[in-house]
Amino acid sequence: MPKPSIYFGAGLLAELETLFPDRGFHILRIPEISDADMRKIRSSLQGRVLSEVVYQQGMPDIRVVEDLQDNFWRYADCGNSVLLGMGGGSVMDAAKVLRFKPDGKAWLSRHLDVSIADQSLPKMPLLLASTTAGTGSEVTPTATIWDFENQCKHSFFGPQVLADVAIIDPRLCLGAPWIISRDAAIDALSHALEAIWNINRTKETDDLAINAAQKICRYLPLLRDDLNNLEYRQALSESALSAGMAMAKTQTALAHALSYAQTMNSKKTHGQACAYWLPYVWQLLIQSKCESKILISINQAIGEYFSTPTEMQEWLLALGFSVYPALTRDKTVEDQVNVVRLSARGKNFAGFSVNDK
């Protein structure tokens, strides 16, 4: 699978000036980007901004994204333009769909939950710039599309979904408030841990995930009282990138599989829903027949900060999350696990033995 070109570092958003110099830019962005930053972006593009849409719809619902896509392609042209998505995971996921030119009604519905591998599908180049250190969507070949009316979650994924360019400029995160920053970082921590307790793990993904988890556990508590600290923002941005790159190869596992219903039913953010389940899933892993190498890697990733799932639970509670108690067992949750273990993400969990699948 191809990889996006990655630009990482403070101030590297200025590289926009050198990218796709013969094309105009359509921009899809969150409203929270400061006027000063937007002036810099427009200035660096030297009159090449063709359109600018402010995305305020939250998690991408299928009907919202279909309308956005239809409206966009009434004036967009594949041949002379690129799309720049700037924001958190929701905006970047919406941009992954928006870049494709639909060929009729229900185009998105027809392309959900099947791999997008057809290189002939009309689309424009895509650049993604993250404003939160969390989802890693800028380097993954997947977008999550929700259907809130029918209470279900879909994946828009495949090698053609990957962005052409990922820009991770920690300065864009400086304006993010604590709760958004916290939730994004725990999403990244979940990606890291899910990449380790995963049947698709490799030495490469382990190294990326361990590095990410160590930094998140160190820097996230420090960020709460110093939101404009560029060192902390840079460390968390690097962690989200590393976790995203690991997760792009392994895909997620049981904690994510459990989190989707939580997000759908309670409208918790994705990070909050993942935080709720992480200690419990870690406890299931410890009690399973998984390889000892996996437990060793988990210890390398977070052992300096928590020796048990209960200690992780207390840490998450101190950060302000609600958490399902790691040692609690009840039939409702066990039934829920038995359902999601058969899902694509659930099957990735290394805590289920081969005979149990």
- Domains, the chain, in order of start with CATH, read 5-172 (3.40.50.1970), 177-356 (1.20.1090.10)
Place of tokens 């596992």: 253
Tokens for 24, please give them.
Answer: 């105009």
Pairing, β 142-147 against β 24-29: unpaired
Query: From CA 257, how far away is CA 340, in angstroms rounded?
Result: 6
**DSSP single-letter state for residue 198:** B
**CA distances (Å), origin 43, targets 13, 25, 36, 169, 252:** 12, 12, 11, 17, 39
> What pLDDT does 356 receive?
52
> What pLDDT does 330 receive?
86
> What pLDDT does 357 receive?
43
Tokens for 232, please give them.
Answer: 């902390």
Query: From CA 41, how far away is CA 15, in angstroms rounded?
Result: 10
pLDDT (tens place) for every residue of the chain, 357 residues total: 678 899 999 988 888 999 999 999 999 999 988 888 899 899 989 889 999 999 988 889 999 999 999 999 999 988 899 999 999 999 999 999 999 999 988 899 999 999 999 999 999 999 999 999 988 899 999 999 999 888 888 999 999 999 999 999 999 999 899 999 999 999 999 999 999 999 999 999 999 999 999 999 999 999 999 999 999 999 999 999 999 999 999 999 999 999 887 777 766 788 999 999 999 999 999 999 888 999 999 999 999 999 999 999 999 999 999 999 988 888 898 898 999 998 889 999 999 864 454
> What pLDDT does 37 receive?
87
> What pLDDT does 134 receive?
87
CB atoms inside a 10 Å sphere around CB 164:
17
Dihedral sign of CA atoms 326, 327, 333, 337 in order:
positive
Q: Which residues of 194-233 are buried (b: 16+ CB within 10 A; e: fewer)?
A: bbbbbbebeeebbebbbbbbbbbbebbeebeeeeeeeebb
Q: Which residues of 328-349 are buried (b: 16+ CB within 10 A; e: fewer)?
A: eeeeeeeebbeebbeeebbbbb
Q: Dihedral through CA 83, CA 85, CA 86, CA 88, nearest 10? A: 180
Report CA 316 to chain centroid distance, whole Å: 19
Tokens for 243, please give them.
Answer: 């976790």
Query: From CA 180, how far away is CA 185, in angstroms rounded?
Result: 9
Give 246's contacts (C-beta < 8 A, 6+ positions apart). 191, 192, 195, 204, 205, 206, 208, 209, 212
Report CA 270 to chain centroid distance, whole Å: 9
